[in-house]
Amino acid sequence: MFKLVTMEDTIRIPPETFGNPLESVGHQQVKAKYEGVVDENLGYVVAVTNVKVSPVGKIIPGDGATYHKVSFSLLTFYPVLQEVVEGEVVEIADFGAFVRIGPVDALLHVSQLMDDFISYDEKQGVLLGKETNRKLTTGDRVRVRITAVSLGRAGGSAKIGVTARQPFLGKLEWIEEDLHKTGETEEKKKEQKGDEQ
């Protein structure tokens, strides 16, 4: 889930940047500190926006820089358990597929792909269902549910697990096929009820 979070902090304006526009330098300092960070409270920090730097700063003895209060907004992505998301398959491996959801790749393990025996074709980079003949390859669009989130400690590696083994989840083409089959089944049931009456 993407969020826009408003925050305040104090930033250091280095002496070599004196004379440059304060807002511009402030934006660069906040961007360097926050963008790309993975935080267990914020999630993935994607971008910094709306930076407002106080023109009044403080000087600390022994440091030639000035310190200014700053308010800003962060665009963050925080994966929520049980959230249904769509993404693109960016890599296929023998143990599963990596799906890009927002700014991060989540693992779709082979056991969570479909109710079928799955084989991996390394040459073609394909996961293939034995009975269904359904294929998953790089570039496919999938709908998945988030089942595990581990953002780790500040700056650590994060891990997200997803599943496609529930109704209306999986490769988008498979979902369309299943919906079409369900619609045909419903029509047949209605026809049979009409014949019985």
What count of other Cβ atoms lies within 10 Å of the Cβ of residue 10? Answer: 11
Domain membership of residue 189 (yes or no) is no
Alpha helices in the chain (DSSP H): 22-34, 172-196
User: Do 65 and 136 share a domain, yes or no?
Assistant: no
* Reported pTM: 0.75
pLDDT at 54: 92
pLDDT at 158: 74
Segment 90-145, tens digit of pLDDT: 999 999 999 999 888 999 999 999 888 999 988 888 998 888 888 999 999 999 99
Q: Strands 43-59 and 66-77: what pairing?
A: antiparallel
pLDDT at 42: 85
User: Do 107 and 177 share a domain, yes or no?
Assistant: yes
The CATH number of whichever domain residue 18 belongs to comes to 3.30.1490.120
- Work out the percent of the chain whose per-residue pLDDT is above 70: 92
User: Do 92 and 13 share a domain, yes or no?
Assistant: no
Res. 185: pLDDT tops 80: no
Whether 111 and 52 have beta carbons less than 8 Å apart is answered as no
Average pLDDT, the chain: 88
Write down which residue in 22, 44, 77 finishes a domain.
77
User: Do 150 and 170 share a domain, yes or no?
Assistant: yes
Domain range enclosing 21:
2-77
Residue 67 confidence class, pLDDT cut points 50, 70, 90: very high
More confident: 188 or 56? 56
Domain membership of residue 103 (yes or no) is yes
Q: Can you read off the two tokens belonging to residue 93?
A: 């491996």
Mean pLDDT for the stretch of residues 20-31: 91
Helix, strand, coil percentages, rounded to 5, for the chain: 20, 45, 30
Write down which residue in 24, 52, 77 finishes a domain.
77
More confident: 31 or 181? 31
Res. 194: pLDDT tops 90: no
Rounded Cα distance, 8 and 62, in Å: 25
Rounded Cα distance, 120 and 94, in Å: 5
Whether 172 and 143 have beta carbons less than 8 Å apart is answered as yes
pLDDT at 152: 67
